[in-house]
Amino acid sequence: MDPALGPRDHLLTEQPNECARGLDALTTEGAFDVLNAEDATVAAAVGTAREELARAADLITARLAAGGRLFYVGAGTSGRLAVLDAAECPPTFSSDPEQIQAIIAGGPAALTAAIEGAEDDAEAAGRELDARGLSDSDVVLGITAGGTTPFVHGALHHARSEGAFTIFFACVPREEAPDEADLSIRVLTGPEVVSGSPRMKAGTAPKLALNTLSTLVMVRLGKVYDNLMIDVDASANAKLVERARTLIQRVTGCDRERAAELLDEAGGSAKLACCMALTGQDAEGARASLDAAGGSLRSAT
């Protein structure tokens, strides 16, 4: 590392991007093209972590199926993305809100404003994990674009001391920012178009990765049938009622009127309604079949 540079300037995410030189002198359209071309590389970068993400998904699935929980931990952009993914799982998959939780440095206020210094508190996340009853059946996934955030490393250190399984996600190579997690996921997005702004490609990468990870977990937990979001609770609003009726029609081949009847008999559960139609059972019998199959409609039918 050049001794004239700062202690973080060796990190991949902090390097100047040669493809974006002269960005401020380009036309708006030209600058757009540079941004768009760099953004297009992120999905491929996430793809290089296929093996690690699949392993993480299988591990998390097993822990959640046994009653454990998944805790995302992050600061700044990474923390906000963690909160977003955790918050979207219950309405998308009807999962228990306790099952996937997020901890962001600085607490809820950090969702809408920068809480200076919060990411440097290496003990804070451990205290929050303890307050939520962390146990050795849980998984803690720390997310930090540049790989150095003390809040995240502190969380993983504490989680390991409690016997929880730990996963680390960063956008820099391990040699630039080592970790002690049980599983390390590295998605190398490279230098940002605007140097030192890891909310860009290094912000898009964890969004894609967390989407992929939580979706894989929910598929494995039986929340998806074929490629349909089958575990819909239609009690929340009219849009979900319509979506659930359509799902029932697609899965069972019944007409709209019958789909509505089944959904009503199933108390608003699209998956239970489908199981009733496919097995000929009443709601109680279909529910027992689903329970015996671990919630999998495919296995229950």
How many Å apart are CA 150 and CA 166, to the nearest integer? 15
58 with 165, same domain: the answer is yes
* pLDDT at site 256: 95
pLDDT tens digit string along 23-73?
888 999 999 999 999 999 999 999 999 999 999 999 999 999 999 999 999
Phi, psi angles (nearest 5°) of residue 223 = -85, -5
Residue ranges in the chain assigned as alpha helix (H)? 28-39, 42-47, 50-65, 76-93, 124-131, 150-161, 201-220, 238-252, 256-265, 270-279, 283-292, 297-300
SS3 state of residue 282: coil
> Is the Cβ–Cβ distance between 171 and 12 less than 8 Å?
yes
pLDDT of residue 1: 44
pLDDT of residue 270: 94
Average of per-residue pLDDT across 195-211: 90
Whether residue 8 lies inside any domain: the answer is: no
Residue 153 pLDDT greater than 70, yes or no: yes
Q: What are the tens digits of pLDDT across the range 222-239? A: 999 999 999 988 876 888
Shared-domain flag, residues 109 and 208: yes
Same domain, 75 and 159: yes
**Smallest Cα–Cα separation from 45: which of 184, 212, 202?**
202
> Residue 282: which CATH number?
1.10.8.1080
pLDDT, greater one: 195 or 119? 119
For residue 78, being part of any structural domain is answered with yes
Residue 47 shares a structural domain with residue 160: yes
More reliable by pLDDT, 193 or 69: 69
SS (H, E, C) 24-74: HHCCHHHHHHHHHHHHCCHHHHHHCCHHHHHHHHHHHHHHHHCCCCEEEEE
Phi and psi (nearest 5°) for 99?
-70, -45
Q: Is the pLDDT of residue 17 over 80?
A: no
pLDDT band at 159 (very low <50, low <70, confident <90, very high): very high
Tell me the pLDDT band of 8, cut-offs 50, 70 and 90.
Answer: low
Q: Give the Cα separation of 81 and 61 in Å (integer).
A: 21
- Rg of the chain's alpha carbons, rounded to an integer? 22
Q: Which of 287, 269, 56, 290 is nearest to 168 (CA)?
A: 56
CATH code, 198: 3.40.50.10490
Cβ distance 265 to 258 under 8 Å?
Answer: no
Same domain, 139 and 49: yes
Does residue 225 fall inside a structural domain? no
Residue 247 forms part of a structural domain: yes
Residue range(s) defining the domain that contains residue 142? 42-220
Active site residues: 88, 119
